[in-house]
Amino acid sequence: MSVRSVPRRIRALRQSVAAVAVIATVVAVAPTAGAAELAPAAAAGTLYGSVSYAFDPGEPPVLVSNGRVQFYSFATGDLAYEVNLEPDGSFAINGVEAAPYRVAIVSSMGAPYSPVREWYPAKATYGEADTIVFNAGQDFNFGEIVISARSISLERDAGADRFATAAAVAVRGSRDGGGGTIFVVNGLTFPDALSAGAATTTSVLLTVQRDSIPAPIAAQLARIVPSRIVIVGGTGAVSSAVETALQSYVADPLDPTSVVRISGNNRYETSRAVIASLYGFNSAPTRIFLATGRDFPDALSAVPAAISVGAAVLLVDGSLSSLDSATATMLSTIGVPVTIIGGTGAVSAGIETQVRGIVGGGLTNRLAGTDRFSTSVQVSNAYFGIADYAFLANGFGFADALAAGPVAGAFASPVYLVRQSCTPSAVSAHINGVLANVIVAVGGTGVVSDNALLGTAC
């Protein structure tokens, strides 16, 4: 038996679950003074069972000889424990902290049994799975868990225009009256949204016009009732009139601090301001994703990856041979690893050399492909081993992918860039590799055709 504890976060899915099935109960015991600091977390007993694969409905299930069982903390969304299946399909694990979990089963058997990840019991996504509470000191018998061949659901989040599409995506990533903080950016330009996307804390990024709030966006604000709205960008991007109008949508319209603005004199200063505002002086992102602010494709793929690991996206002028002094100072001050997104045509070799000198060569890497499509695959390959969802967005426009990024990141799932008429073969292969059970086209058929959603290769 092999057991390991691995952090892997699924953030917003817990918020959108309408019903939770709880198996077993926990008896709360009042701790003595100081017990919280001194006593180790109580462990459940042995968790055990077996896994079989119903590959052919007309035949008996086959024991899964190569696979694993994953235990995700319901409190944090992290992958907390993982145990490999024995050759006879059985598993047993001890030492699991007594707490609520959601459980996934991964089969890695070869042909003819296609790989699959299924959530317990027989669900496609984390959001649909049952929550199981393991009691301290008590065994739990899963019995025989029968999984089925992977079944992929094809879905589309789209509206009449980019604002309506952003609203449709927001429905997937939020719940009625969910509150929390919502980031608002200009939907006609990309730089501010790239920085804001990785900063979202409720999986919702809404787009507006400079001088108005489109009706579909207003409807989402009224539905969610945010406790706080953060505008990213100056009044040239989101006007003071829109800022005033947004005040009426927050939970406490009389609180003058419930609508705030983060901005700078240019896109790069705004990007730094977002990071400084989000993390302040007492914390830091786990990593910085460095992307050019002169174009959007590479950073689009970085947003969901950054959210999934608690990282931040920092925009630079990638055409220059070196960083500006303010960005160099920020990297030095934060002192976390840096991942450069895109090739040297996007972020120069000179900038990479300088970054390596600031944070260390061993803490700097670059993810790049031969084009925007393969770069999105490289990012996904680095940060999404297995995912419930795969979001598809047109690689030649920014609006739809920007709206999808925060939701995808909250679901610990990638955004892939595709062509309007087809899906690049490298993207299709990676979607199969992450075992996504739900593929979502973002935008109408004019930007992501049904053929692209179906995986027609190009």
Tens-digit pLDDT profile for residues 72-105: 999 988 899 999 999 999 999 999 999 999 999 9
What type of residue is 53? Y
Residue 383 DSSP class: H
User: Is the pLDDT reported for residue 56 higher than 90?
Assistant: no
Measuring CA to CA, which residue among 81, 51, 47 is closest to residue 66? 51
How are beta strands 205-208 and 259-262 bridged, if at all?
unpaired
Percent above pLDDT 70 for the chain: 90
> pLDDT tens digits, residue range 167-217?
999 999 888 888 889 999 999 998 888 888 777 755 689 999 999 999 999
Place of tokens 């008590």: 138
Measuring CA to CA, which residue among 138, 145, 131 is closest to residue 44? 138
Angstrom distance (rounded) from CA 327 to CA 269:
9
> Where does the pLDDT of residue 58 fall: very low under 50, low under 70, confident under 90, or very high at 90 and above?
confident
Check: CB of residue 300 under 8 Å from CB of residue 376. Answer: yes
Neighbours of 333 (CB within 10 A): 11
Strands across the sheet containing 364-367: 312-316, 288-292, 338-341, 364-367
Residue 397 DSSP class: -
Q: Where are the domains of the chain?
A: 3-25+40-149, 154-454
> pLDDT tens digits, residue range 273-316?
999 988 765 578 999 999 999 998 888 889 999 988 989 999 99
In this prediction, residue 217 carries a pLDDT of 98
> pLDDT tens digits, residue range 98-132?
999 999 999 998 878 889 999 999 999 999 999 99
In this prediction, residue 201 carries a pLDDT of 58
Percent above pLDDT 90 for the chain: 77
Task: Collect contacts of 419-422 with beta carbons under 8 A, ≥24 apart.
Answer: 419/373, 419/394, 419/395, 419/452, 419/458, 420/394, 420/396, 420/446, 420/447, 420/448, 420/449, 420/452, 421/449, 421/451, 421/452, 421/456, 421/458, 422/449, 422/451, 422/452, 422/456, 422/457, 422/458
> pLDDT tens digits, residue range 222-262?
999 999 999 999 999 999 999 999 999 999 999 999 999 99
Q: In the predicted model, what is the mean pLDDT of the chain?
A: 88
Return the CATH number of the domain spanning residue range 3-25+40-149: 2.60.40.10
Angstrom distance (rounded) from CA 406 to CA 391:
11
Measuring CA to CA, which residue among 234, 236, 238 is closest to residue 269? 234
Task: Go through 362-397 and write b for each residue having 16 or more CB atoms within 10 A of its CB, e for each that does not.
Answer: ebbebbbbeebbbbbbbbbbebbebbbbbbbbbbeb
Angstrom distance (rounded) from CA 120 to CA 182:
32
Mean per-residue pLDDT for 373-391?
A: 94
In this prediction, residue 10 carries a pLDDT of 53
DSSP strand E in 244-363: where? 259-262, 288-292, 312-316, 338-341
Angstrom distance (rounded) from CA 270 to CA 288:
15
